[in-house]
Structure 1
Amino acid sequence: LIVRGGASNENRFYLDGMEIPSITHFTVQGTSGGPNGLLNVLMLESASLHSSAFPAYAGNAMSSVATFNQRAGRKDRFGGSFTLSANDWGVLLEGPMGKKSSFLFSARESYTQHMLKALGVPVIPFFADVQYKQVIQFNDKNELILTGVAGYDKYTLNLGAEPTESLLYNTGYIPEGKQFVYAAGAIYKHYLENSYYTVVLSRNHFYNYAEKFVNNSGEETDRLFDYTSKESENKLRIEHKLFRDKQEWNYGIALESDQVDIEEYSLYSRRANEVDEINFRSLMSFVRYGAFGSFSQQFFEDKFSVYAGLRLDGNTYSDLMKNPLKQLSPRLSLSWKFKKAWQLSANAGRYFQVPPYLLMAYAENGEFSNRDELKYMRSDHLGLGIEHTTSSGYRLKLEGFHKKYKDYPFLLTDSISFANANANYVLVGDQPADASSEGLAYGVEFQIKQKYHNSWSWSLAYSFVVSQFEDKNGELVSSSWDNRHFGTVSLGRTVGKNWQIGARWSLAGGNPYTPYDQATSGLRSVWDVNYRGIPDFSRLNEARLPVFHQLDLRVDKQFDFKRWSLSVYIDVQNAYASSVPVVPYLTVLRDESLSPLVDPDDPERYQTNIIDSDTGRILPSIGLIADF
């Protein structure tokens, strides 16, 4: 999830008011997750995304705060659904638990790993997840919500497939691994006449394991990479929301106890006949604390509204982070309805976020290498927008924004900003760093949409976003997520009895990337450690992939029966087989026995080639949802 030119790890997610660490499977530690969702949308009632003027209760975010509210389970009888989609199958159960309680439970599991293996895909993913919500309504004034979500991921190499050039390259450097993540908690609400209290107690945990061997031998003497990480967060938030006339007050405190256990062994070569070894075990624990308050009110017959919030955060990780006054986080939002159906809005704010845990826990000689260097990352936001809405569901919105980053991590070994770092499929940031990096993001967002009207609904959205960070010379260069252009056009219609058809065309600008240092990558002493090309950081993100676009089509039909219903859909992704641009890969040429070919002009080198790795195929699928 890239929001307004920010990194994917700058977003925070809340499920019924409880913070959860991720909303996707297959997390790359230090960045974010993959394309498969962790939450079952059939359990969700509503969702919202704040890209500015974040709620004061939500800390540790610099790009967005996303809130997901789950519906309550039905109270009249037991029911549920069975789903079968292109990627997974699952069941959902719901019903009453006594007179004052109801529950929702979901379990899903992927099955496409069998098809992917047969197709010769280099990496075979498997995932499963469960989700639960129980609402206990003690009386009109007291409510308790118990909720949780957990996911398990595993990825293995398809070593038995036909040894194509692509498969040999990917299985040569990509490790095998597994992950486990969960978040569980209780949300208690006590209602008074004009206010209510909320207490949120929760815990989340993330386990990440991966390993890699030379030629995937599994022999200990051939080990190239061994990584185990365990992250746990125990959270408590207490807040009070008060309503008075047209005013709304909210204030509270937050406490958090974090534990991180990381053990890493890895080999990497950047120069001829030199191998950099990372070998450390790090146990880190610290406490986070914060306080927040916000106020909102409407004036002049609800034509003018104000939202103002303030938050302070600190932690015990280091002296640089312990004083909450240094992380004073104000935010302000103003809106003015200057004409019927027209509204002008403006916002400003300063937000802070702790650096990724891997950077904080990285150790050399038994000491946290970055403890005296890292600071809270900071982002200053400005925004201005105009919006037009009508009672028929028509909406037009135009907004411009500017974000300034300060105290961002700068990786000292590679001499690049963390915003330009390359993940190795498992993690990013396992090296010394300081807080000297600065950057900015700015752009404009345009959206026009029509909700369901005369059997039709449609929308058009376009964003132009620039995201840049300073290189080692202080010059601004594109961040790794500086795509520049994003656009979607969606169209849907209800036809006949319970028929729905829809189409979506999407466009994204090409990702910037750093070209390979082909001369160094081809050295035998380097390739036999890395098994992939190394980036030439003197040309940081100078190259860019082509623009990507695709068309998706879908048809749904619902059949209603006496005690149950069946929804069947046909989904076609990438309907015209558009090419999906992927960063080219540098690999070695091989002989008939699949061994690397030595350069006849230089026996210290392999013969190398850069291969276009673009892919693009039509992905049709059939799915069903049976509700009972």
Structure 2
Amino acid sequence: MSPRIWLPLAALALTLLGAVAPGAAQGTGRGRIGGVVTDAATGAPVPGAAVSVGQLETTTDDAGRFELTGTDRGPVELIVIADGFEVGLVPVTVGRRGATANVTLTPAAGAEIIEVEGRAPVEPEPYTYAITGDEVRTLPGSGNDALKALQSLPGVARVPFGLGGLVLRGASPRDSSVYLDGIEVPILYHFGGLASFYPSTLLDDIDLQSGSFGARWGRTQGGVVVLTSRPGRADRWRVGSEVSLIDASLRAEGPAPGHGAWTLGLRRSYVDAILAAALPSGDGALTLAPRYWDGQLRYDRGTAATGQLSAMLFFSDDLLRFASADVAPADAMADDAGLRYVSRFARAAVRYQRQLAATDLSVQPWVGLGEVAVTLDGEGTARRYLPMGVRADVTRHVGRHEIAAGVDVQGGRAAFSARGQPAPGPGVAMDEPMEVARATTRWDADVGAWTEGQLRVGPAVIAPGLRLDRYGLSDEWVLDPRLAYAQELTAAATLRAAIGRYHQPPLFTDVDPVYGNPRLTSSAATQTSLGVEVRLPADATVAVTGFASSSDHLPVDVVTGATPAAAGGTSDSGGVGSITGELTDDQFGAYEYRESVGRGRSHGVEVLVKRTGPRWVGWLSYTWSRSERTGDPRQDLGWRPYVLDQPHVLTALGTTTLGRWQLGARLRFASGNPYTPVGGTYYDSDAQRYQAVDGAILSSRLPAFVQLDLRVDRGWQRPWGTLKLFLDVQNVTNRVNPEGVSYNFDYTERRYTRGLPVFPSLGVEYTP
């Protein structure tokens, strides 16, 4: 569930609690008691537990934390009541500095739980695909990684080889953004899509908003992924770990000064060590050395009612090297040895949240650093950046209505260096190769302000929004109006509709005067969606959403290249080469002369059928969509498919629990990606080789992708924690899925590039 949904609901709950027991959490004394309530059997936090001392009352939050202010000093008795647990009676002595009382509740044997069900007011946003970390970490095909389960949701196209990147409703990967606790991050997955940059065990919620999102998010014209990390548990120290075939991780959480909680995590892959031992060595042999790191550190204290302070630091570091095996190990680690790819970033932030009666406040400044580079023997392209920003918002509840506003500032210093042939501009002849060394640094800032409201009229809610942005790189102001509407048709059915305008600024390399076009402006899209959500018995849900998007001012190459598209040399060739360019565009830039003259359009229907039971989880997602683009209008090529246009994407998956075993399966089907066929050939006597003549641009398609994944989990629960063994096998049938096309020297023979073979992931996880 996204922050936009649970913050208003939390404020409403606190308001109702205050109406029933005014000043319940704050008395006239000078003492203070804080702590965490957990389940004695599992160690999990117990949210919603009633905690009281005398006439003072409060309830625990989602992390099981509570705070009572104004208690008497000296010995008191703390009473904790929660459904399904024995009543907890804890003697506490309150001193001058207060007291910490961490309570463990014993599950009640044969307890009868009476549930009173109600539904929160309908929210106006389009249907959001919200999943929890615990829900998806056991789904097949994810490799015990919650974020990889995003690829099984509606509206998400399949990326070849599982390389990562998100293609939402036909938008380019560079057109969608990822946020962790409100901080924009450059990547979602480590190199090759092997794992996400943030461990699943430290995530609380994952929200996928494929399009038509509200004014809170900006600088993107595709969709957004909103990740919410969880706070640590402060009752005692817990240390967990996970070891698989590709990486190992360690995590810990426990009490911190100021009645707070620490959360720590560290993970490293060891594929480089395995390949170094497995690959042959000898004169001239190549050594492949990929590896990734990531780490997390977080501190939390307080509650939303009294003021919640969170400080966080997280980083991701990827390195891939190809070096000759006869190079000394110390030299192979050098930046100028062989081919070297590096992608790393870090973010540090402090967030303060407070609920004051009917007002919610949040302020979060942050700073970071990053580097993306590809070098061959010390020469290549590198981008280094020092981003920083602040996000602040306020929400005011007025009866059933609310109004929110905020500022969203992001900027910093960016530098890049490159050596190579500059991009030719229109009318510029490049008869002789010319190498240019380029190094530049630039400061810029994007300043955004937004407001949106929720007006409730009977069973309907109308949410108008407006966002104003000033983009530093393109020196322009943009205004984006947005409108969402939702109405409860019946007690089980909700209608949702949205329309909005979305702008996206150019990249730093796009406006470089040597390798780009300094006159490039922002691109934009108008998105619409209309859907209905039906809640069925037995915890089943059916959601159907139709969508359409029209893009303009897209950056496109307006200089005709000499390499035919069918030969795999341009963005119009399709296949692995073009798609790789789409995936790396946001990180490296295109380094080509582009103008804001392209257009795009997409439309389709998303269907999600989901059922969650006490012993099993499953869903069926289907997307029918078409995504098209135009290039330089002066070449009059007309509309053609986007290189990741996939008309049909179907995913069926489910898991079930059988005693201590958990079994799951996932079946995926996706239309093949388009590519440009060879229409003919001729022999180039000057180059002394055959050249291809293009057929119709992106007019052919690869065969369909079909893959079956299986997963088996076995758990052992002990007093000291839970041990889980898992086996996740992707492409269990070892089906040959084509991912691209290649030709022999004279283009008389065509063969497909094979996708990933059967890929097992075996691991063990310990949870205290």
Q: Give me the TM-score of the superposition, normalised by structure 2.
A: 0.68
Query: Residue 165 of structure 1 corresponds to which residue in structure 2?
Result: none
Report the alpha carbon displacement of residue 546 of structure 1 after superposing the two structures with TM.
1.4
Higher strand share: 1
Do residues 502 (structure 1) and 660 (structure 2) align? no
CA distance in 1, matches of 2:652, 2:601: 28
| Closer/same/farther in 2, CA of residues 194 and 275 from structure 1, 3 Å limit | same
Report the alpha carbon displacement of residue 494 of structure 1 after superposing the two structures with TM.
1.0
Cα offsets for 1:469-519 (capped at 9, x unmatched): 1133150111122122211001211111x3211111112221223457996
Residue in structure 2 matching 1:281, options 404, 418, 439: 439
Judge conservation of contact 2:182–2:391 (CA < 8 Å) in 1: no
Query: Residue 595 of structure 2 corresponds to which residue in structure 1?
Result: 434
Residue in structure 2 matching 1:251, options 405, 412, 417: 405
Do residues 141 (structure 1) and 306 (structure 2) align? yes
Do residues 179 (structure 1) and 319 (structure 2) align? no
SS in 2 for 1:180: strand
Residue in structure 2 matching 1:307, options 463, 487, 491: 463
Query: Residue 400 of structure 1 corresponds to which residue in structure 2?
Result: 546
Query: Residue 265 of structure 1 corresponds to which residue in structure 2?
Result: 419
Cα offsets for 1:520-544 (capped at 9, x unmatched): 99889699xxxxx999777532332
Amino acid at match of 1:487: L
Query: Residue 81 of structure 1 corresponds to which residue in structure 2?
Result: 240
Do residues 458 (structure 1) and 618 (structure 2) align? yes
CA distance in 1, matches of 2:450, 2:670: 37
Judge conservation of contact 2:299–2:310 (CA < 8 Å) in 1: yes
Report the alpha carbon displacement of residue 349 of structure 1 after superposing the two structures with TM.
0.6
Query: Residue 339 of structure 1 corresponds to which residue in structure 2?
Result: 490
Report the alpha carbon displacement of residue 160 of structure 1 after superposing the two structures with TM.
5.7
| 1:329-478 paired onto structure 2 within 5 Å | 329-360=480-511, 362-364=512-514, 369-372=516-519, 374-390=520-536, 392-414=538-560, 423=580, 427-453=588-614, 455-472=615-632, 473-478=636-641
Judge conservation of contact 1:272–1:526 (CA < 8 Å) in 2: no
Judge conservation of contact 2:242–2:249 (CA < 8 Å) in 1: yes
Query: Residue 221 of structure 2 corresponds to which residue in structure 1?
Result: 62
| Closer/same/farther in 2, CA of residues 244 and 537 from structure 1, 3 Å limit | farther
Residue in structure 1 matching 2:187, options 22, 35, 49: 22
Query: Residue 452 of structure 2 corresponds to which residue in structure 1?
Result: 294
CA distance in 1, matches of 2:655, 2:700: 37
Aligned length in residues: 564
Query: Residue 238 of structure 1 corresponds to which residue in structure 2?
Result: 392
| Closer/same/farther in 2, CA of residues 34 and 276 from structure 1, 3 Å limit | farther
| 1:538-549 paired onto structure 2 within 5 Å | 539-549=696-706
CA distance in 2, matches of 1:45, 1:192: 25
| Closer/same/farther in 2, CA of residues 285 and 523 from structure 1, 3 Å limit | farther
Amino acid at match of 1:371: P
Query: Residue 10 of structure 2 corresponds to which residue in structure 1?
Result: none
Bigger CA drift: 418-427 or 255-264?
418-427
Report the alpha carbon displacement of residue 293 of structure 1 after superposing the two structures with TM.
0.3
Query: Residue 618 of structure 1 corresponds to which residue in structure 2?
Result: 758
Amino acid at match of 1:617: P
| Closer/same/farther in 2, CA of residues 484 and 275 from structure 1, 3 Å limit | farther
Judge conservation of contact 2:497–2:529 (CA < 8 Å) in 1: yes
Bigger CA drift: 123-132 or 145-154?
123-132
| Closer/same/farther in 2, CA of residues 523 and 307 from structure 1, 3 Å limit | farther
Do residues 566 (structure 1) and 713 (structure 2) align? no
Identity rate of aligned residues, in percent? 22
| Closer/same/farther in 2, CA of residues 142 and 233 from structure 1, 3 Å limit | same
Judge conservation of contact 2:258–2:301 (CA < 8 Å) in 1: no
Judge conservation of contact 2:474–2:522 (CA < 8 Å) in 1: no
Judge conservation of contact 1:516–1:534 (CA < 8 Å) in 2: no
CA distance in 2, matches of 1:6, 1:520: 36
Report the alpha carbon displacement of residue 359 of structure 1 after superposing the two structures with TM.
0.9
Judge conservation of contact 2:524–2:551 (CA < 8 Å) in 1: yes
- Unpaired segments ≥5 residues, structure 1: 27-32, 162-173, 213-217, 528-532, 589-605
- Unpaired segments ≥5 residues, structure 2: 1-165, 281-285, 327-337
Q: Give me the TM-score of the superposition, normalised by structure 1.
A: 0.82
Amino acid at match of 1:470: T
CA distance in 2, matches of 1:526, 1:582: 30
| Closer/same/farther in 2, CA of residues 318 and 548 from structure 1, 3 Å limit | closer
Query: Residue 601 of structure 1 corresponds to which residue in structure 2?
Result: none
SS in 1 for 2:608: strand
Do residues 556 (structure 1) and 717 (structure 2) align? no
Judge conservation of contact 1:409–1:436 (CA < 8 Å) in 2: yes
Report the alpha carbon displacement of residue 179 of structure 1 after superposing the two structures with TM.
1.9
RMSD of aligned residue pairs (Cα, Å):
3.3
Report the alpha carbon displacement of residue 567 of structure 1 after superposing the two structures with TM.
0.7
Judge conservation of contact 1:408–1:418 (CA < 8 Å) in 2: no
Judge conservation of contact 2:516–2:591 (CA < 8 Å) in 1: no
CA distance in 2, matches of 1:125, 1:518: 40
| Closer/same/farther in 2, CA of residues 55 and 62 from structure 1, 3 Å limit | same
CA distance in 2, matches of 1:516, 1:149: 47
CA distance in 2, matches of 1:464, 1:63: 17
